[in-house]
Amino acid sequence: MSNPKKKKNTITSKKIAVLENKLQRSLADYSNLEKRIEKQRQLFVTLATVGIVSKMVDILDDLYLAHKHLKDPGLKITIKKFSRILEEQGLKEIKAKGQEFNAKSMDCVDVATGKQDHVISIRKKGYTLNDHVIRPAQVVVGRQIKN
C-alpha cells in the first residue's frame, strides 16, 4: 500500500510548485507594470516638453523679428539667453541653407532658380527637440531652368 505521508508530501509539493509559479508570474506582471508606468510617465513628460517648447519657439521667432527691426543690443542678449535655455532642453535649429532638400525636416514653400534640390533660403526656421522634428523649416528650393 502507498504511504499516506508520502502521498500528502507529493500533493503539498505540487501545491508549492503551483504557488511558486503563480508568484513568479505575479512578480513578472508587476515588473512589466512598473516598466509600462515608467514609459507612460516619460511619454507624458516628453509631450509636455514638446508642447511648451513649441510655444516658446514661436516667442523666439517674435524676438528675432523684433531684433531685426529694432537692432536693440539688449534684445540680442535676451535672445541668446532664451536660445541657450531652449538648447539645454534639447532644442536644435535645423540647418537647412545650402543643404539638399529633406522632406522629413523641411517644407518647401517656394521654388527659385538655383542649385537643383538644394535649399536657397529659409523663410522660417525649423527645430528639432531631442532629435524629433517639432517644426519643419520652411524653405525655398532651387530648380534649374531648362532651355
Question: What is the rounded CA–CA span in Å between residue 91 and residue 50?
Answer: 10
Task: Name residue, grid cell 521667432.
Answer: 61
Could you tell me the pTM of the whole model?
Answer: 0.70
For the chain (length 147 residues), average pLDDT per consecutive 10? 74 92 96 97 88 93 95 96 95 97 97 95 95 96 82
Topology given in CATH for the domain delimited by 92-147 = Nucleotide Exchange Factor Grpe; Chain A, domain 2 (2.30.22)
DSSP secondary structure of 70-126: H--HHHHHHHHHHHHHHHHTTEEE---TTSBP-TTTEEEEEEEESSTTBEEEEEE--
Task: Name residue, grid cell 536657397.
Answer: 120
pLDDT (0 to 100) of residue 20:
96
pLDDT (0 to 100) of residue 2:
59
pLDDT (0 to 100) of residue 147:
58
Q: Where are the domains of the chain?
A: 1-89, 92-147
Question: What is the rounded CA–CA span in Å between residue 116 and residue 146?
Answer: 11
pLDDT (0 to 100) of residue 3:
77
pLDDT (0 to 100) of residue 48:
87
